[in-house]
């Protein structure tokens, strides 16, 4: 008998404040992530897993020994992340359950927010199902607490029902949303030969291609004088920032791209006439186009610097992660088995590129091949985020089938 369904665990986990921050320089970046880590450690102990622990970097790990007769199976890793995105508040999440969704718009209780069916066509496929949202004042946190809940439910179910599985290596990481999840991850100690992150969207989705990613910070020091005597002297840092952004392709932004198309995303602009900072993320699936985009931003910075010689314009571009496809080319059984597991769980598998990244992208380059699986969550990183109860159940079913396939 399973004590808790995946959605019930999700309802508990989302109430723990784990929003990460790119500004603290700490690991984990925010103290609330310790709270969820310690809860998961205790729950893993209660489930009887081997050596559950939280290390000094707030990474939760545990292992499940192979079922009798499955000892020869390759050790398989399952990972999810505990933090929520800093793009929108994750504090004081109040989950709302919408039973038997009737189609149409979903009106959230607070701040006049509405999840409009016309904006999100996938909602038509969720009619009649039970949906979970936040109340409109926060994000929900299904990214990626739905994945955490599904892995925990899998662990309980495998033991309660004596289901076949090889050795399982379980990990929950902090700070994925700020690109630091695997910074202190010990792949060798984890011991998995292959792994999956459970950190995607619709149930049955399988992702093994992701963006190449870089961050770019542009610092602009203007020349500030009294406006009354500024002619020929003032250099307004905010106007220089506008000039720089205008030099980038106007169609290469998130709102105008899809599929494999890359973009520049001006994620933050702050400052005043005297000083400004621009923070970009640069994304492209194609490594060559990725290189071109990084060079284009550097050229734009150099061009505005030349046009404003008394100002100072400095651009620093740093790679964040790369497309895992290159590292999975020799491990396509991970994709094939995920497809088969989805079908056995009654899902229609879909394989599509990630317009983002996961811990698995970096782990794949660290020697642990690691595609990504859907969670049954949608609209991540904002107040219109939601999760589907029935899809979460099917994800657990898919994971049951997946570990069984690798147990043979």
What is the three-class DSSP state of 178?
A: helix
* Alpha helix segments (H runs only) across 1-47: 6-13, 32-46
| Cβ neighbours for 118, distance < 8 A, ≥ 6 positions apart | none
Per-residue burial over 226-246, b = 16 or more CB atoms within 10 Å of its CB, e = otherwise: eeeeeeeebbbbbbbbeebbe
What is the three-class DSSP state of 228?
A: helix
Q: Which residue has the tokens 């020799």?
A: 330
Strands, E assignment, 295-336: 312-321
Pair 284, 212: CB distance under 8 Å: yes
Tell me which residues are annotated as active site. Answer: 83, 176
- Cα 83 versus chain centre, distance: 9
Q: Are strands 131-133 and 96-98 parallel, antiparallel or unpaired?
A: antiparallel
Pair 116, 208: CB distance under 8 Å: no
Q: What's the CA dihedral at 253, 254, 258, 260 to 10 degrees? A: 70
- The values of phi and psi at residue 311, to 5°, are -90, 175
Token pair in block for residue 73: 């199976």
Pair 397, 6: CB distance under 8 Å: no
Pair 335, 351: CB distance under 8 Å: yes
Pair 140, 85: CB distance under 8 Å: no
CA distances from 403 to 45, 66, 275 (A): 21, 10, 54
């Amino acid at each position: 008998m399973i004590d808790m369904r995946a959605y019930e665990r999700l309802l508990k986990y989302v109430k723990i404040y784990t929003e990460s921050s790119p500004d603290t320089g700490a690991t984990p970046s925010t103290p609330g992530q310790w709270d969820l880590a310690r809860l998961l450690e205790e729950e893993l102990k209660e489930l009887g897993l081997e050596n559950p622990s939280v290390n000094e970097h707030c990474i939760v790990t545990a292992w499940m020994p192979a079922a009798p007769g499955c000892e020869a199976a390759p050790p398989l890793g399952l990972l999810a992340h505990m933090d929520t995105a800093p793009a929108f508040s994750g504090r004081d999440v109040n989950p709302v359950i919408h039973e038997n969704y009737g189609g149409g718009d979903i009106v959230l209780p607070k701040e006049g927010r509405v999840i409009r069916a016309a904006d999100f066509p996938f909602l038509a496929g969720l009619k009649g199902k039970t949906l979970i949202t936040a109340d409109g004042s926060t994000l929900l946190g299904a990214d990626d607490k739905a994945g955490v809940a599904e892995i925990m439910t899998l662990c309980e179910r495998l033991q309660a029902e004596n289901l076949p599985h090889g050795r399982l290596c379980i990990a929950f990481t902090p700070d994925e949303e700020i690109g630091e999840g695997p910074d202190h991850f010990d792949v060798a100690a984890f011991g998995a030969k292959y792994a999956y992150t459970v950190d995607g969207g619709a149930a049955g989705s399988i992702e093994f291609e992701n963006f190449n990613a870089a961050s770019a910070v542009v610092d602009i020091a203007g020349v500030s004088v009294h406006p009354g005597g500024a002619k020929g002297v003032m250099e307004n840092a905010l106007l220089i920032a506008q000039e720089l952004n205008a030099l980038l392709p106007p169609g290469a932004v998130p709102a105008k791209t899809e599929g494999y198309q890359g973009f520049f995303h001006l994620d933050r602009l702050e400052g005043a006439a005297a000083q400004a900072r621009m923070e970009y993320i640069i994304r492209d699936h194609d490594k060559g186009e990725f290189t071109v985009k990084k060079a284009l931003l550097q050229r734009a910075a150099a061009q505005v610097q030349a046009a404003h010689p008394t100002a100072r314009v400095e651009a620093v571009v740093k790679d964040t992660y790369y497309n895992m496809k290159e590292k999975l080319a020799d491990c396509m059984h991970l994709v094939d088995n995920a497809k088969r597991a989805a079908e056995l769980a009654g899902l229609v598998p879909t394989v599509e590129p990630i317009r983002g990244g996961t811990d698995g992208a970096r782990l794949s380059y660290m020697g642990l091949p690691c595609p990504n699986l859907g969670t049954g969550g949608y609209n991540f990183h904002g107040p219109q985020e939601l999760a589907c109860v029935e899809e979460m159940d099917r994800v657990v079913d898919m994971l049951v089938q997946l570990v069984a396939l690798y147990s043979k």
